[in-house]
Amino acid sequence: MTVREIMWTWFYKLASPPYVYGASAALAPWALGGAALAMGYGLIAGLAIAPPDYQQGEAVRMIYVHVPSAMLSLTVYTLMAAASAVALIWRIKVGHAVAAASAPIGASFTILALVTGSLWGRPMWGTYWAWDPRLTSELILLFLYVGVMSLRLAFEDPSRGDRAAALLAIVGVVNVPIVHFSVVWWNSLHQGATIVRLGAPKMPGSMLWPLLSMWLGFMLFFAAVLCIRLQGEVLNRERQSTWVREAVKS
Amino acid sequence: MMSSSFWVMGGYARYVWPCYAFACVVLAWNLWSARRFRGAAQVRARRAAEMAMAAGGEP
Amino acid sequence: MNVGLLEAFALIVRRELCLSFRRPDQLLQPLVFFLIVTTLFPLGLNLQLSLLRDMSPGVLWVAALLSSLLSLDSLFKSDADDGTLEQLALCGQDLTVIVVAKTFAHWLVSGAALVLVSPVVGTALGIPTEAFLTMMLSLTLGTLTLSWLGAIGAGLTVGLKRGNVLLSLIVLPLAMPLLIFGAGATDRAISGTSSAGALYFLAALCVFTCTLAPFAATTALRITLE
Amino acid sequence: MNTAADGLSVEKVHVWRGDRHVLQGVSLELRPRQLLHISGPNGTGKTTLLRVVCGLLRPEQGRVSWHGQSISSVRTEYQAALAYASHEPALKGDLTALENLRFAVGLKRRVTAGELRASLERTGVGACADLPARVLSAGQRRRVALARILAMQATLWLLDEPFTNLDTAGTALTGELLHSHVQAGGAALVVAHHTLEVDVDVRRLELGP
């Protein structure tokens, strides 16, 4: 089979709900195991082995949770928008299921990033919230998540709710960079250019590895939870079709 | 390394441990709510299957 | 024999304006709301005029955003309720033309009116008259952009019963860059420094939204018309 | 699959509303000079079928084609050739009957006020051309909607319950207009409960539960 055919059959398989249901059921435990391993190493190395920061001291250890969750909040939103675009343009129902499944996970990571961000900022700023540009864009991202989720639930007909939320996710993802840029511009207006860099500028290897493994752990954890939620979303959307009866009977 | 100084976190214990505690809460909530959501969907699907079976098994 | 694009656009704009002026009270309500909100802030903050001047760009722009949102709900809702929206969608013209015409007419009636009233509010908030030009220019760009973002939100929530709270929840996060650059431009105009930078960003945002939003709003409307 | 070269054909359309399988493989053919009467108890998807036919609702499965081409590819031309009367008369209360017609028909073809008054006259509501639609009775509003269909001069009429709120004279008038429309080479698809008294070859489509 030529590469094109492989790509096409792979794409076709991904669009068929029973295949996705089966695959995500099989994938979930592996992803969860991988996440546990990566996070285990990341926690031990981050908390105990990695050196404290010369400026922030031990407080810097909070980046091992804050930075991965902040990155994940953005990656999940982008994935949600991509799945929505695929679903809206090629009318693939599984895309809506992926978008609907990833929204709450992304929102929870955004809340985690906000809380850990303000806890981390407290020693430096003296308050829990100082309108730091990155945390402010994170807050606006949370509003975008809430908007997409509540719009999806506002419709009685689930397929219409899916399409409306899909469009809002696409419009939202286009606005995320604009929001971030304008918040940074607005912040430089008041505090001048000397913003304390939240992320450590150049990290020694011993700090970088735990951070990378925590990020990997978060990604795998997201994949695991997504697979579990995706099974529920696919079942809800395919309740009438025949394959669901076999899948549910066992 | 597991001496008391580890738990003190150089005086920032008040921020580091709540930060990790909250992270565990968020991760646990994700896993728990995902499983609950899947379970509820399976129950609804099973009930729909039984109803369809009872109604003569037509598609 | 077929009706051309511009003809259809002009006809729909005339229809919307004719409909709006049949109910002038509904035109005034957002403007009065704009005035009331701007009088709330000084009462709530009981500042001297000089301090009020520093606050005034933010107050003016937040009030403008909220009053524009108020009138956005009626963009498609009245037509959807009495079934004429379906007739418009099926009249043989591309749905985008209809959405563009309706949103432009709605902006004329709400956004442009707001810009004309803004000097009154500006003086009340202590904004010097030299800054009026920049303020009105930034408000024009801002309200135009907001009308388009609101068209997407209104298109998505037109079929819902309690849609207007959700409309604000959807549109406001998207309108935050607008508020930042708009208030920033007015703030610099007041302090005398050049507000060209902020105005350019606002203009770029306006052009970007005015070109992409019509297609998103049409898709949104097509989803809820189903 | 002989899609009618010069008419409307609907092949095996399936639509779900949430869990309800509203349209299960509905098919129909409509050629010029034909009248199709769709009937059936409430809730069997008559209006949904009409919305699928006029292109407002895209079916999950199945195809609607006009002149042999799928309507999604020729959407604007197809919708320019049809006139759709929904369950409600769809008039703006604040606008007068004439203005309602001008803004609705004017989007489809250049039309003069005289022509519009003539079509209002034809459907018996010429007198209230300059009255706001909200003061008209339900029957008068239905007649204004009928005048709009007349003024559009569309080849395909899609009427959803056109006889509601009409008195006997109104029902006869609607029958007459349908008759002359079909005789003149037009096609019509009518959703109605009771039988149509139109002496033209009426084909029926019964939508079961």
Q: CA dist C149 to C74, C140, C204, D63, D156, Å?
A: 14, 14, 14, 34, 37
Q: What is the pLDDT of residue A196?
A: 45
Q: What is the pLDDT of residue D197?
A: 72
Measured distance CA(A167)–CA(A183) in Å, rounded: 24
Residues of chain C with C-beta less than 8 angstroms from the C-beta of A167:
152, 156, 216, 219-220, 223
Contact indicator for A93, A87 with CB cutoff of 8 Å = yes
Q: What is the pLDDT of residue D163?
A: 86
Q: What is the pLDDT of residue D1?
A: 42
Alpha helices in chain A (DSSP H): 3-15, 17-44, 63-90, 93-125, 133-154, 158-191, 205-237, 242-249
Whether residue A200 is predicted with pLDDT greater than 60 in this model: the reply is no
Share of chain C above pLDDT 70, in %: 99
User: What value does the mean pLDDT take over residues B13-17?
Assistant: 86
Mean of the per-residue pLDDT values for chain C? 91
Asked if D104's CB is within 8 angstroms of C86's CB, the reply is no
In a domain, A93, yes or no: yes
Subunits adjacent to chain B (3 or more Cβ pairs under 8 Å): A
In a domain, D127, yes or no: no
Indicate the range of A62-71, A182-191, D184-193 predicted with least confidence. A182-191
> Among C169, C219, C223, whose Cβ lies nearest the Cβ of A160?
C223
Length of chain B: 59
In a domain, D159, yes or no: yes
Whether residue A33 is predicted with pLDDT greater than 70 in this model: the reply is yes
Instruction: Name the one residue in this structure whose structure tokens are 């050196």.
Output: A51
Whether residue D11 is predicted with pLDDT greater than 70 in this model: the reply is yes
Measured distance CA(D66)–CA(D144) in Å, rounded: 28
* D122 φ/ψ angles, rounded to the nearest 5 degrees: -60, -35
Of the spans B29-43, C47-61, D38-52, which averages the highest pLDDT? B29-43
Q: What is the pLDDT of residue C52?
A: 80
The full 3-state SS of chain D, as one line of letters, equals: CCCCCCCEEEEEEEEEECCEEEEEEEEEEECCCCEEEEECCCCCCHHHHHHHHCCCCCCCEEEEEECCEECCCCHHHHHHCEEEECCCCCCCCCCEHHHHHHHHHCCCECCCHHHHHHHHHHCCCHHHCCCEHHHCCHHHHHHHHHHHHHHHCCCEEEEECCCCCCCHHHHHHHHHHHHHHHHCCCEEEEECCCCCCCCCCEEEEECCC
Binning pLDDT at 50, 70 and 90, where does residue A167 land? very high
Binning pLDDT at 50, 70 and 90, where does residue A65 land? very high
The number of helix segments (H) and strand segments (E) in chain C equals 9, 0
Q: What is the pLDDT of residue A194?
A: 43
Whether residue B41 is predicted with pLDDT greater than 80 in this model: the reply is yes
Cβ of residue D74 closer than 8 Å to a chain C Cβ: no
- How many domains, chain A? 1
* Tokens (6 digits) for D115: 């022509």
User: What value does the mean pLDDT take over residues B31-46?
Assistant: 94
Residues with Cβ within 8 Å of A135's Cβ and at least 6 positions away in sequence, in order, are: A114, A117, A118, A121, A129
Residues of chain A with C-beta less than 8 angstroms from the C-beta of D19:
239-240
User: What value does the mean pLDDT take over residues A81-91?
Assistant: 94
| Residue of C223, C224, C226 to mutate for A, most A C-beta atoms under 10 A | C223
Q: What is the pLDDT of residue A161?
A: 93
Binning pLDDT at 50, 70 and 90, where does residue B34 land? very high
* Tokens (6 digits) for D62: 């199945």
User: What value does the mean pLDDT take over residues C12-39?
Assistant: 92
Binning pLDDT at 50, 70 and 90, where does residue D33 land? confident
Q: What is the pLDDT of residues A87-121, one digit of tens each?
A: 999 888 899 999 999 999 999 999 999 999 999 88
Q: Domain with D196 in it: what CATH number?
A: 3.40.50.300
- Nearest CA of chain B to the CA of A197: how many Å? 19
Residues with Cβ within 8 Å of D2's Cβ and at least 6 positions away in sequence, in order, are: none
Asked if A183's CB is within 8 angstroms of C223's CB, the reply is no
What interhelical angle do A93-125 and A17-44 show, nearest 10? Answer: 20
In a domain, D124, yes or no: no
Binning pLDDT at 50, 70 and 90, where does residue A193 land? very low
Residues with Cβ within 8 Å of A10's Cβ and at least 6 positions away in sequence, in order, are: none
Q: Which domain holds residue D186?
A: 3-92+155-206
Q: What is the pLDDT of residue A195?
A: 42
By C-alpha distance, the chain A residue nearest B57 is A242
Measured distance CA(D66)–CA(D187) in Å, rounded: 12
Residues with Cβ within 8 Å of C213's Cβ and at least 6 positions away in sequence, in order, are: C148, C149, C151, C152
Binning pLDDT at 50, 70 and 90, where does residue A250 land? low
Whether residue C40 is predicted with pLDDT greater than 90 in this model: the reply is no
Whether residue C171 is predicted with pLDDT greater than 80 in this model: the reply is yes
Give chain B's contact residues with A (Cβ, < 8 Å).
Answer: 1, 6, 9-12, 15-16, 18-20, 22-23, 26-27, 29-31, 33-35, 37-42, 44-46, 48-49, 52-53, 59
User: What value does the mean pLDDT take over residues A148-168?
Assistant: 93
Q: Which domain holds residue A44?
A: 22-249
Whether residue A206 is predicted with pLDDT greater than 90 in this model: the reply is no
Residues with Cβ within 8 Å of C8's Cβ and at least 6 positions away in sequence, in order, are: C91, C93, C97, C98, C101, D107
| Residue of B37, B43, B47 to mutate for A, most A C-beta atoms under 10 A | B37
User: What value does the mean pLDDT take over residues D71-82?
Assistant: 87
Binning pLDDT at 50, 70 and 90, where does residue D2 land? very low
The candidate with the shortest Cα–Cα distance to A77, out of A34, A107, A54, A53, is: A107
- Nearest CA of chain A to the CA of D55: how many Å? 16
Q: Which helix (H) or strand (E) holds B26?
A: helix B13-54
Q: What is the pLDDT of residue C209?
A: 95
The candidate with the shortest Cα–Cα distance to D133, out of C83, C11, C161, is: C83
Q: What is the pLDDT of residue C21?
A: 92
Q: Which domain holds residue C139?
A: 5-225
Position with higher pLDDT, A215 vs B56: A215
In a domain, A14, yes or no: no
Whether residue A157 is predicted with pLDDT greater than 60 in this model: the reply is yes
Whether residue D7 is predicted with pLDDT greater than 70 in this model: the reply is yes
In a domain, A15, yes or no: no
- Nearest CA of chain A to the CA of C25: how many Å? 31
Position with higher pLDDT, C53 vs A152: A152
Per-window interface: A 96-125 vs B, CB < 8 A: 104-105, 108-109, 111-112, 115-116, 119-120, 122-123
Residue A55 three-state SS: coil
Mean of the per-residue pLDDT values for chain D? 87
Binning pLDDT at 50, 70 and 90, where does residue C13 land? very high
Q: What is the pLDDT of residues C98-145, one digit of tens each?
A: 999 999 999 999 999 999 999 999 988 888 888 999 999 999 999 999
Measured distance CA(D34)–CA(D47) in Å, rounded: 20
In a domain, D129, yes or no: no
Cβ of residue A239 closer than 8 Å to a chain D Cβ: yes
Asked if D21's CB is within 8 angstroms of A157's CB, the reply is no
Q: CA dist D52 to A228, C159, C189, D14, D32, Å?
A: 36, 18, 55, 10, 19
Q: What is the pLDDT of residue D209?
A: 65
- How many domains, chain C? 1
In a domain, D145, yes or no: no
Residues with Cβ within 8 Å of B39's Cβ and at least 6 positions away in sequence, in order, are: A232
Q: What is the pLDDT of residues D105-136, one digit of tens each?
A: 999 889 999 999 999 999 989 898 899 999 99
> Among C166, C180, C226, whose Cβ lies nearest the Cβ of A160?
C226
- How many domains, chain D? 1
Binning pLDDT at 50, 70 and 90, where does residue D185 land? confident
Whether residue D90 is predicted with pLDDT greater than 50 in this model: the reply is yes
- List residues bridging with D38 in a β-sheet: D191, D205
In a domain, D88, yes or no: yes
Whether residue D144 is predicted with pLDDT greater than 70 in this model: the reply is yes
Asked if B38's CB is within 8 angstroms of A235's CB, the reply is yes
Residues of chain C with C-beta less than 8 angstroms from the C-beta of D107:
3, 8, 11-12, 88, 91-93
Mean of the per-residue pLDDT values for chain A? 87
Going by their DSSP bridges, the two strands D82-85 and D69-70 should be labelled as unpaired
Rg (CA), chain D: 17
Asked if A185's CB is within 8 angstroms of C180's CB, the reply is yes
Instruction: Count how many pairs of residues, chain A against chain C, have C-beta atoms within 8 Å.
Output: 73
The dihedral over CA atoms of B37, A95, A235, A152, expressed in degrees to the nearest 10, equals: 50
Q: What is the pLDDT of residues D166-182, one digit of tens each?
A: 888 888 898 889 889 98
User: What value does the mean pLDDT take over residues D26-53?
Assistant: 88
Measured distance CA(D137)–CA(D89) in Å, rounded: 11
Contact indicator for C151, C75 with CB cutoff of 8 Å = yes
Cβ of residue C226 closer than 8 Å to a chain A Cβ: yes
Q: What is the pLDDT of residue C61?
A: 94
Q: What is the pLDDT of residue B2?
A: 59
